[in-house]
Structure 1
Amino acid sequence: MSEVVNVNRIRNSLIAFAAIILSIAIFFGFQTQTGSLSLESQAQAATPIELALKNGLPTLTEFYANWCTSCQAMAPELAQLKQKYANSINFVMLNVDNNKWLPEILRYRVDGIPHFVFINDTGEAIAQAIGEQPPSVMEANVEALIAHQTLPYADSTGQTSEFNAPINTPSSDPRSHGAQVQS
């Protein structure tokens, strides 16, 4: 009978030990899920866009959301960039879930997050990057922005011509694209 009691005590001790280990793992698991919190704290410390567009410094604008896993993954790396280049560039963060930023979302044609808009020192958007970017790519783009050089890893944007559709063109053949057909 004492052998059964010893086996039960060992089993109960193992269960208790496993419960303690599991509780500790769950506790620390919740402690590491601070991505949205760090995004929010970074956004509060970011330069307001109104100031950034007028203060004569180039600007990196990040469109993000607290629930975005790519945004959360990039948060520590962007925080390091912000510390390193804080005196040379504005860092602006705009949460796409806040309707306040809808004009900027439409202006910069944000259709995925994270979405980065690189703005020169005169307030003109010169390039964009969408999606999770490696730290070396972001740093190279920031350095190029500061140095007034072409950004090596971003899609350049620039002025485009306004398209005016021709009026009163024959539309009998859609493949003619408005060309006059000789008969």
Structure 2
Amino acid sequence: MQSTPPAQRMRNFAIVTIAIVLVVALVLGVRAQNFTDSLATQAKQSQPLDIALTNGKPTLMEFYADWCTSCQAMAPDLATVKAQFGDRVNFSMLNVDNTKWLPEVTKYRVDGIPHFVFFDNKGRVLAQAIGEQPRQILELKLTDLMAGNPLSDTAAAGEVSKFTPKVVPSEDKADPRAHG
């Protein structure tokens, strides 16, 4: 038997390594694509809002968009939460890109997504949260929601800017509110 020269072995090793890296990248890419598909699937399976707010169960409403990377990143955790709580809590998803939901976007002051609105079993708003929410926090909030307790961790759901702009008319320019 002939032995393979060291240069040939090194080339073969490099080819195998590159092939493994490409397979891993392909698998991760397909997984990332499934997040978007998962969002679309979850939206199709979500409870219509009018039914969710009137059927006597608490509701978690999510404003989302297919292009939203945070929404995509949360999709697997939301699927897990829906599987865990779906028989006791309504899950309703509203796509902000659909003009049908413009009244709700305005009513709930959606200025960032994902945007979650938590309703009690009578359809009253209890709390809202904006941005990615860890699965454990969602589970805790839904457990409180089902029990009729105040929602945990709602007040401390992120940092708020301490900036306060000074709104003072300039002395050297005419006041634009003077209309003249």
What is the TM-score normalised by the length of structure 2? 0.75
Shift in alpha-carbon separation, 1:56–1:35, aligned structure 2, 3 A: same
Kindly report the root-mean-square deviation, in angstroms, between the aligned alpha carbons of the 2 structures. Answer: 2.1
Shift of 1:12: 4.3
Aligned to 1:80: 80
Shift of 1:115: 0.7
Structure 2: where are the runs of 5+ without partners?
156-180
Aligned to 2:70: 70
- Size of the aligned set, in residue pairs, is 152
Shift in alpha-carbon separation, 1:25–1:110, aligned structure 2, 3 A: same
Cα separation, 2, equivalents of 1:47 and 1:133: 21
Aligned to 1:55: 55
Contact between 1:59 and 1:118, CA under 8 Å: does it hold in 2? Answer: yes
The worse-fitting range, judged by mean Cα deviation, of 38-47 and 9-18 is 9-18
2:21 equivalent to 1:22 = yes
Aligned to 1:32: 31
Cα separation, 2, equivalents of 1:58 and 1:19: 51
Deviations 1:123-175 (A, max 9, x none): 221211111122222111111111122112225xxxxxxxxxxxxxxxxxxxx
Cα separation, 2, equivalents of 1:13 and 1:103: 61
Cα separation, 2, equivalents of 1:18 and 1:140: 44
Cα separation, 2, equivalents of 1:64 and 1:30: 21
SS in 2 for 1:88: coil
The residue identity in structure 2 corresponding to 1:140 is L
Q: Please show how residues 1-183 of structure 1 align to structure 2 within 5 Å.
A: 6=5, 9-10=8-9, 12-33=11-32, 34-155=34-155
Larger radius of gyration: 1
Q: Percent identity?
A: 44
What is the TM-score normalised by the length of structure 1? 0.74
SS in 1 for 2:72: helix
